[in-house]
Homo-oligomer: A and B are copies of this chain.
Amino acid sequence: MELPKQITIKEVGPRDGLQNEDAFIPTSQKIKWIHHLAESGLKHVEVTSFVHPKKIPALKDADELTRQLPKKPGVTYSALVPNLKGLERAVACGVSEIAVFMSASETHNKANINKSIKETLPILRQTVKEANRQQIQVRGYISTAFFCPYEGHIEAKAVQMLSETLLEMGIYEVSVGDTVGTASPLHVEETLECLLKRIPRNRLAMHFHDTRGMALSNTLKALEMGITTFDSSCGGLGGCPYAPGAQGNTATEDLLYMCHQMGIHTGISDEKLLQQALYIEKNIGRSLPSKALQVWKQNMAKKGRGN
């Protein structure tokens, strides 16, 4: 099996992870957590979202958070931005990278941002153009890229065309999202085969959700196809408030375990990352889905008991 020697993991826990939580984590705790996530070796953390604060109450502190978050050399703190207005807020807070987003499915796009795909594209184009003018890098998410809870199967060709459109606008990378977590490795292979016909592999990232336990199998297939950038979430936090049935992202610790066991370099410390998963689990107050975290806690408990 051919595997990349090194991959980049983009941590989305503070945004994609927390956005679906009822609990509001105080800004100071988020800042501490994000700082320590970066200390674990992560070079890219999506820290919040500049959508309307009422839409995602868990991230209503986007402005304070990004203003107060100490910069860290070599680490990019990115933020989700829906439009020019969001970009303005992000810029005012000193954000150096943004992510724009849309769905491959018409119905999910409508449910998520109340606009058709056709209406969304000019808004993104305007936002990307203005961001790039201000030397702000832009990443693009395509959600429901495999399956939409309203429309069902999504054609790979549609994702390919949308990806090309976003890249032409000036984004540097498309993150292809299995929002509901239904994709199989075969589906990943089919979609990537189609995308890679037109898009260089270093312009693609995969964003899997582990709703049905397939996130790592899908990651394996993407790794074998040469993809080297993956989104994941500390503890396996996550979901999508507008996609019924969507659950946590790939857990960063589980992804680390698989990659490190296969000799794939990530630059991230398992131990430090696990400590941060434990930290956010305690703050959220419920058991998080990451398997590596649960094993680590068990082992710690055993050590504590002296056996």
Interface residues of A (CB under 8 A from B): 1, 3, 182-187, 189, 210-214, 216-217, 219-221, 244-245, 247, 251, 254, 257-258, 261-263, 290-292, 295, 298-299, 302
Contact = CB atoms under 8 A, between A and B. Distances in A.
A213 B251 contact: yes
8 contacts: A1-B221, A187-B262, A210-B213, A211-B291, A213-B257, A213-B291, A217-B220, A220-B221
Top 5 nearest A-B pairs by Cβ distance? A184-B261, A213-B291, A186-B262, A213-B254, A216-B217
A245 B292 CA distance: 11
Complex copy number for this chain: 2
B211 A295 contact: yes
Contacts of A183: 261
A254 B210 CA distance: 11
Given A214-B261, A247-B295, 13 more contacts: A1-B185, A1-B221, A182-B261, A186-B263, A187-B261, A210-B291, A213-B258, A213-B291, A214-B216, A216-B216, A217-B217, A220-B221, A244-B302
A171 to B, nearest CB: 29
A185 B262 contact: yes
A185 B216 CA distance: 10
A295 B220 CA distance: 23
B262 A212 contact: no
A212 B182 contact: no
Contacts of A257: 212-214
Contact of A184 (B184, B212, B258): B258
B216 A295 contact: no
B184 A262 contact: yes
Contact of A245 (B211, B258, B298): B298
A292 B212 contact: yes
A230 to B, nearest CB: 13
B189 A254 contact: no
A189 B1 contact: yes
B213 A292 contact: yes
Nearest to A3: B186
A216 B257 CA distance: 14
A291 B181 CA distance: 11
- Of A186, A211, A299, most buried by chain B (CB within 10 Å of CB) is A186
A20 to B, nearest CB: 13
A221 to B, nearest CB: 7
Given A1-B185, A1-B189, A220-B185, A214 B258 contact: yes
Contact of A186 (B1, B213, B217, B251): B1
